[in-house]
Structure 1
Amino acid sequence: MTIPSAPSFAAPQHILGGIALRLFAMAGASIMFVLVKYVAEAGIHVVESLFWRQALALPFVFAWVVTHGGVASLKTRRIGAHTRRMLLGLAGMGANFAAMIFLPMAEATTISLSVPIFATIFAAILLGEQTGRARWSAVVFGFVGVLVVLAPGAEGIGGFSGEHGLGTLVALGGAIMTGLITIQVRDLGRTESATTIVFWFSLLSLVPLGIAMPFVFQSHSVSEWLMLLGLGFSGAVVQLALTGALRLAPVAVVIPMDYSSLLWSIVCGWWFFGTLPAETTWLGAPIIVASGLFIAWREHRRAIDRAKEVVL
């Protein structure tokens, strides 16, 4: 999951290193989602997948904390805000996992790229952020791309039926939830480092997932345990790479690298599952990407303008 927080605590800046880490994270996320699909095909419940994704990633995240700021950096006075972020995060992660299970990887990834569109809307509504005509135009433009991508699900009664139709609705719900998470993390980022946010999300999420585990847990073969271990390890690597990228380079520089995930999902979907994007995905994806890039660019320009105002 993306952590939209500025590089924290005077971390040394290394633009190329930040870009490389973000690109690596996107490639790793595609591998993680390949494992999500394989684990589902093995009959393992998505709740159990989420539990092991979080539980096995936590030691790696903690090790990162120990070597980058120390355990003292985990102290927080906003446990309630972290809990709300955890509930939103679990809902969003569960929806994204389910979308990857129901849909071809490229299609699910394309819909997930609409997150900046929803984040802009929620920032205007919930945070009262000023959103000019240009950004609203980008939002509308992006929605056109989303509607184009959703067209393959327009079958049957009500426009959405069957596994594919359910998958498109779940993917759209995941993007909306991730947009809300962006707002919550932005609020937490005023007082908490990115690493602290990641740690508390991983730890607190084990409470509801642990309660649910007895109802979904089943015995596994060696190969299934290896897939679950790979899921947790890849999730940790991706999370740490995302956080590390934001320590090395500004948000406006690294966030556009997220769109490389579409290329990786196309390759992985074809290589591992023999699927290619639908025609409408090829048409809608460039529209969504263009909208997201424009929103990111506008955010960058606004940050520069605010800095100039402070100097003046």
Structure 2
Amino acid sequence: MGFLSLMDAFMKEAALITGTYTATLLRALVGAAIIAPVWLIRRRGWPSRNALKLHMERGVISASMALSFFYALTKLPLAEAIAISFVAPLLTLYLARVLLGEEIQRKAIFASVLGFAGTLIIVAGRLGRDDVSADVWLGIASLAFSALLYAYNFVVIRRQSQIAGPVEIATFHSGVGGALLLLFAPFFATVPQAGSLAPIIAAGVLTIAASMSIAWAYARAEAQALVPFEYTGFLWASLFGWLFFREPVTLPTFAGTALIVTGCWIATKKPRKPAAAAST
């Protein structure tokens, strides 16, 4: 989460300098250029058909998710954007019902209500300021779309990490996403500004580090055990938002984040085992 949050800060800087699309495309290509040679040297064969399908699926999701999220970062403070994106784990519960047939428990519904309330508080705090503009609405809408994709990403990455290693996953994550974005280069690409190259390269390196770390973690633990660690991203985002852009963290953002985190904690908390069963 630290890698991801720092990457977000570098990407916000790059997107503000050279545009969201160009920064997102170059980040993916830089990441692929770094990790692909490592995978090619270490690989023992081409990925299976099932693995390749998941790589393609996640690459498309990640490219769309990244583009919409980084666009939102250019319109909203870093900590606020990260906080609103925390609704993704709650959305995952409903996607798991639709895609995996999992039963939605009462506590999950209650958690969703808390998460939705927390999101409303953060959004209301933002809209209650004097500097609200059409760009802010575009940022919030883009962030909502990104959160939905991120929720689906939880379902895909769990399957992906069971049949492929971290290096392979990181390679196709950047490679497929970069290839997809490259299709739109004739329409949206711009000449990158000199000041954007350093943060883009840094973001590419951090993307690989984060992708491999997440793949390694999801191969060893269930998603519900790892979801709570997502919320450390708010602390990182608050720090990097202040260090990079001097963005203050408002009281509504803190309050809304507390509700969202509480809701997700309730949703992912495992029932305590009876003492007898535990001792046995």
TM-score normalized by the length of structure 2: 0.84
Range with bigger deviation, 247-256 or 221-230: 247-256
Q: Give distance in 2, aligned partners of 1:253 and 1:64.
A: 30
Among 18, 24, 37, the residue aligned to 2:12? 37
Q: Give distance in 2, aligned partners of 1:269 and 1:75.
A: 39
What's 2:22 paired with? 48
What's 1:28 paired with? 3
Q: Give distance in 2, aligned partners of 1:88 and 1:77.
A: 18
What letter is aligned with 2:8?
A: F
What's 1:82 paired with? 55
Contact 2:9 2:240 in 1 (8 A): yes
Among 94, 112, 125, the residue aligned to 1:152? 125
Among 213, 223, 228, the residue aligned to 2:185? 213
Q: Mark the CA change 1:228 to 1:41 in structure 2 (over 3 Å): closer, same or farther.
A: same
Stretches of 4+ aligned residues off by more than 6 angstroms: none
Contact 1:142 1:292 in 2 (8 A): yes
1:264 paired with 2:239, answer: no
Among 245, 257, 272, the residue aligned to 1:285? 257
Among 184, 200, 211, the residue aligned to 1:239? 211
What letter is aligned with 1:53?
A: R
**SS of equivalent to 2:101:** coil
Among 93, 102, 106, the residue aligned to 2:79? 106
Q: Deviations over 1:103-135 (max 9, x none)?
A: 001100001111110000111122210121122
Q: Give distance in 2, aligned partners of 1:193 and 1:229.
A: 24
Contact 2:55 2:173 in 1 (8 A): yes
Q: Mark the CA change 1:194 to 1:202 in structure 2 (over 3 Å): closer, same or farther.
A: same
**SS of equivalent to 2:49:** coil
Q: How far apart are 1:161 and its partner, in Å?
A: 5.2
What's 1:62 paired with? 36
Contact 1:74 1:196 in 2 (8 A): no
Q: How far apart are 1:83 and its partner, in Å?
A: 2.5
Q: Mark the CA change 1:137 to 1:27 in structure 2 (over 3 Å): closer, same or farther.
A: same
Q: How far apart are 1:266 and its partner, in Å?
A: 1.0
Structure 1: which 5+ runs fail to align? Answer: 1-25
Q: How far apart are 1:176 and its partner, in Å?
A: 1.0
Q: How far apart are 1:189 and its partner, in Å?
A: 4.7
TM-score normalized by the length of structure 1: 0.76
What's 2:268 paired with? 296
**SS of equivalent to 2:190:** coil
Q: Give distance in 1, aligned partners of 2:165 and 2:206.
A: 22
Q: Mark the CA change 1:92 to 1:195 in structure 2 (over 3 Å): closer, same or farther.
A: same
Range with bigger deviation, 81-90 or 188-197: 188-197
Corresponding pairs, count: 272
Q: Give distance in 2, aligned partners of 1:212 and 1:282.
A: 38
Q: Deviations over 1:151-206 (max 9, x none)?
A: 135479xxx95112221121121111111222233444554445544332322222
What letter is aligned with 2:115?
A: G
